Amino acid sequence: MDFGLLSDALAAFVGGGHAHFAFLGVMVGLTFGVVPGLGGTTALALLIPITYTMDPVAAMYLAGGSMGATSFGGSLTAILLNTPGTPPNAATTFDGYPLTCQGKAGLAIGASATASALGGLIGLLSLLIVIPLAREIIYLFGPPEFFLLTILCLVAIAVATMGKLLRGLIAAGFGLIVAFVGQDTVSGEMRYTGEIFYLWDGIPLVPVLTGMFAIAQMLVLGVQGGAIVADSHEKTRLTGVTAGISAVFRHWTHLLRGSAIGTIIGAIPGLGGVVASFFAYSSAAQTSSDPETFGKGNIIGVIAPESANNAKDGASLLPAVAFGIPGSAESALLLSILILHGIEPGPSILIENQREIYALILAITFSAVGASVIGLLAARWLMLITHVRAHALVPIVIALTLTAVYVLEGKLGDVIVCGIAGIIGYLMIRFDYPRLTFIIALVLGKTMEQAFQQSVTISDGNLIAYIAGRPTSVVLLLAVLATLAVPAVRGRRRRQTERGTKQA
Amino acid sequence: MKIVATIIIVLLGIGSPTTNAAWPEDKPIKLIIPFGPGGFDSYARTLAPALEELLGAVVVPENVPGAGGRIAANTVYRARPDGYTIGLWSMPGMSLPAILGERVRYDLSKLTWIAQISFDSYALAVKGDSSIASLDDLCSLGRPASFAAQGGLTETASIATVIAMAELGCPYKLVTGYQSSGQATLGVMRGDVDARINPLGSLKPYVESGDVRLLVTFEQQAIYDGVPTIVDLGHREYEHFGLRRVVAGPPKLPAAIRDRLSAAFLDAMRTPRALAWSKETNNPFSPLDSAQTALAMQDVMRFYEQYGELLRSEFKGK
């Protein structure tokens, strides 16, 4: 990789007089990340008209700055309020919120900030290393590989819901049913849409996720009253932030693995951040020597998804820089900013528009680090929110969330969906059904079905022969089988050790 | 994002109805874009500043995506014909649902056509290093040639393939469901399928980089050396076979307003900034005024209607 280009970009960043746009982007991104319902795509969509009169490099600083900062912003509410600010932060609630309830929010925020910043840096580094191989990597993943990847994620759900397998699968099945509402993307046929236009494009993810986490959590809090961290005086003090920072270095293998997963999933067009962070979480839980501690406040459960979440931002640019084809909603918006500035996205974009692309990459990395620093500085005050009494907190968060969901696309239908999802989410909490498996299934449903149908059409129905002839597919298939075998092997080993201890 | 725009406009007092100024100065003109960011959006946002200057009005591009453009189509069709709501229309895309037998809530023959912005004719491409060298090769593979298309069977990309292959008498199979036009082109480059029919403008960057190779263009005159047009190959002319971006307002839009809007769009496409953008981003303009657009749209609808039966039988039971 050409690190000379990177140092040129760095020099332009420092000396070009546009760096304040990156800082502005970070502030926008943090704000949009923190508010549940608003996220990176909304921030970018709002910034598009503003960038029209700007220099393209400055526009990239602004856009990249906001893109890299939303991930960490979203983790703050995930940790403090059990409400992911953006969809990929959903996995962070698993262990982040229990830590907050134990009065260890500082530890979780410190870890999240550090994992985000380092994940962003590792993501940048891997992006620079793999850019020359971008085409080969992207060519490895065709429809059958997409299908197997989604299966791998769904199988990981089963493993990640330890102890609640049946409930997890029920929730996932329900998620799949909801995912299939709307136009069949392969045949064009309408499913469960009635005469309602709103349903044609399917049930949208963000309002569902926001309802299921933010609204549901507020309902829980409202019903139980009090504050998140009940008694407080000695705990108001910010403790544990440094412990959180050092925890990331102590668990560096999880940091690296989370970042690697984020980079790979990010690079594959169409899978997205929810899958990346969830996958990082479940792989950490799966390979852990004491998986029971996950979901009860294990700091690794914060480190793994947050490092993946930031690592995926840089990698998600790969299809865009290699082909000019966006691999995610965010990069589609980034490319449309470039088009507005008279830059034609295409396979030669990295050759003809190095300046803008490297500015973008740099801004995303800068913002991952910058947002974390700002977050750490503000952590002390942010934590106070957990001491606010429910009757004051609940109405504010609900009002803010519903407004955010409406601002998203100006559709009243989104607000209704968010409200319904909130009630369903509350019932799921009440009756102890995992919500994330529902969300994962909702995210993956369409891609899975579409990739399956495409694979069947391409292979004229000989799916198995088709998969057997593709090395990447075979590797993925083995990974699926291995994931399925993990609980069985683990259970057997546990029985053996139990027997061993009894005998002794 | 339109909410924020509206709030800003209200705060600035632009939207106050108290002034007596005549159209178009007293409130903003909404330019409805039927899709999210992408081709249509870029055209609208590039032309908007010039339109504002030429009309002396505020022009707000507003994305109304959803249901394959039908939500935007209905919004524009049902708007008051006062010149404050106009929209971009994708043709033939917006004419196809009715042809395929769907009950639509807009009647294209009653719309007020304002101007055509672009026309991009289709071309057929295969992978850059594919062994398929000609249309004849593609049609005699000993199996149906596979084609990638974004969206479902009823989207324009699929329909273009069905019409072209039926006319050429070439056995084919469609692999639909790609998430975007770019991803479908990637499907060709990755070798998922043999070929793809897509507007020439979107294929051009990949032709230039050698990732894909054109076998035939559906144009009147050849642009690329060595790439035959459909006419060269002895087939009928397909002068309406392509993607058009057209501006139209609701039915019964007063002629005076229509003509001022039409002139403003034509002039906006001639500004240096718009021309430079068009050249650099390879997004060509094909301007037509309101009368010419209306005629062209009649021809387009007639062209696709003749394939109505074929398309309906093709999609039945799928």
Q: Which tens digits make up the pLDDT trace of B80-95?
A: 999 999 999 998 889 8
Tell me: pLDDT of B146 over 80: yes
**B1 against A159, higher pLDDT:** A159
Number of Cβ atoms within 10 Å of the Cβ of A27: 17
**List of residues 6+ apart from A3 with CB closer than 8 A:** A128
> Which residue's entry shows tokens 């997890």?
A168
Residue B280: band (very low, low, confident or very high) from pLDDT cuts 50, 70, 90: confident
Distance between CA atoms of residues A324 and A334, nearest Å: 11
Q: What percent of chain A has pLDDT over 90?
A: 36
Question: Which residue in the set A139, A186, A270 is minimally distant from B190, CB to CB?
Answer: A139
Question: In percent, how much of chain B has pLDDT > 90?
Answer: 54
> What confidence score (pLDDT) does residue A456 get?
94
Which whole number is the average pLDDT over A418-425?
A: 96
The predicted structure's pLDDT at residue A19: 86
Choose the closest CB to A197 out of B71, B152, B205: B71
Q: What is the dihedral of CA A293, A298, A304, A305, to 10 degrees?
A: 100
Higher model confidence: residue A379 or residue A468? Answer: A468
CB contact under 8 A, A333 and B37: yes
User: Predicted confidence band at A114 (pLDDT cuts at 50, 70, 90)?
Assistant: very high
- Under 8 Å between Cβ of A79 and A105: yes
What average pLDDT is seen over chain B? 87
Contact at CB, B177 and A186, closer than 8 angstroms: yes
Q: B residues 42-61 near A, CB within 8 Å?
A: 42, 45-46, 49, 61
Residue-level pLDDT at A247:
92
Q: What's the rounded mean pLDDT across residues B264-289?
A: 92
User: Of the segments A4-13, A29-38, A417-426, which one has the largest average pLDDT value?
Assistant: A417-426
Give the least confident one: A155-169, A384-398, B43-57, B93-107.
A155-169
The arithmetic mean of pLDDT across residues B190-201, rounded, is 93
The C-alpha R_g of chain A, in whole angstroms, comes to 22
Q: pLDDT tens digit string along A50-107?
A: 888 888 899 999 999 998 899 899 999 999 999 898 989 999 998 999 999 888 888 9
What pLDDT does A159 receive? 66
SS3 at position B236: coil
pLDDT digits (tens, 9 = 90+) for A22-57: 999 999 999 898 888 888 888 888 888 788 888 889
- Nearest CB neighbour to A186, from listed B42, B152, B277: B152
Distance CA A65, CA A337 (A): 14
Task: Name the token pair of B207.
Answer: 């032709």
Distance CA A365, CA A120 (A): 6
Strands B145-150 and B172-178: parallel
C-alpha neighbours within 13 Å on the C-beta side of residue A320: 31
Position B317 scores a pLDDT of 53
* Per-residue pLDDT at B139: 93
The 10s digit of each residue's pLDDT in B167-188 is 888 999 999 988 888 889 999 9
Please compute the mean of the pLDDT values over residues A286-309 and round it to a whole number.
89
Calculate how close chain B gets to A261, using CA atoms only, in Å. 23
| Per-window interface: A 133-162 vs B, CB < 8 A | 138-139, 142-143
A144 contacts A455 by C-beta, under 8 angstroms? yes
pLDDT digits over B2-18, tens only?
Answer: 555 555 544 444 444 44
Is-contact B189 B206, C-beta < 8 A?
yes
The one-letter code for the residue type at A94 is F
Q: What is the pLDDT of residue B21?
A: 60
- Across the range A243-270, mean pLDDT stands at 90
Residue A488 confidence (pLDDT) above 80: no
Cα A49 to Cα A43, A185, A333, A337: the distances in Å are: 11, 30, 11, 9
Task: List the beta strands (DSSP E) in A131-240.
Answer: 182-183, 190-191
**Average pLDDT of span A446-472:** 92
Structure tokens at B260: 């001022």
What's residue A109's pLDDT?
Answer: 93
Q: Mapping DSSP to helix (H, G, I), strand (E, B) and coil, where does residue B126 land?
A: strand
Q: How confident is the model at residue B6, as a pLDDT?
A: 52
- Separation of alpha carbons B41 and B242, rounded Å: 19
Q: What does the pLDDT average to over B58-84?
A: 91
- Of A128-137, A200-209, B120-129, the range with the highest mean pLDDT is B120-129
Average pLDDT over residues B293-298: 94
Q: Which of A127, A105, A101, A107 is nearest to A319 (CA)?
A: A127
Q: Which of A291, A385, A270, A387 is nearest to A94 (CA)?
A: A291
Q: Which amino acid is at A431?
A: F
Instruction: Reply yes or no on whether the pLDDT at A498 is more than 90.
Output: no
The more confidently predicted of residues A328 and B106 is B106
Number of cross-chain residue pairs from A and B with Cβ atoms under 8 Å apart: 142
User: Vertex A211, ends A393 and A264: CA angle to 5°?
Assistant: 115
Tell how many helices (H) and how many strands (E) occur in chain A: 24, 2
Provide CB contacts within 8 A for A39, sequence distance 6+.
A32, A33, A70, A74, A85, A86, A87, A206
Q: So what's the ipTM on this one? A: 0.84
Q: Which of A24-33, A232-241, A420-429 is the least confident region? A: A232-241
CB atoms within 10 A of CB B73: 26
Q: How many CA atoms does the CB half-sphere of A166 hold within 13 Å? A: 0
Cβ distance of B281 and A339 shorter than 8 Å = yes
How far is the CA of B269 from the CAs of A35, B110, B118, B275, B292, in angstroms?
40, 26, 10, 7, 16
pLDDT at A186 over 70: yes
Residues B198/B205, Cβ–Cβ less than 8 Å: no
Query: C-alpha A120: how far from its chain's center?
Result: 13
CB A74 within 8 A of CB A37: no
- Residues in chain B, overall count: 318
Return the pLDDT at B7: 53
Q: What is the pLDDT of residue A183?
A: 85
Distance between CA atoms of B273 and A295, rounded to whole angstroms?
56
* Comparison of pLDDT for B36 and B264, the residue scoring more: B264
Residue B118 pLDDT more than 80? Answer: yes
Query: What backbone phi and psi angles, to 5 degrees, belong to A192?
Result: 55, 35
- Across the interface, of A188, A197, A340, the residue whose CB is closest to B155 is A188
Nearest CA in chain B to A460: B173
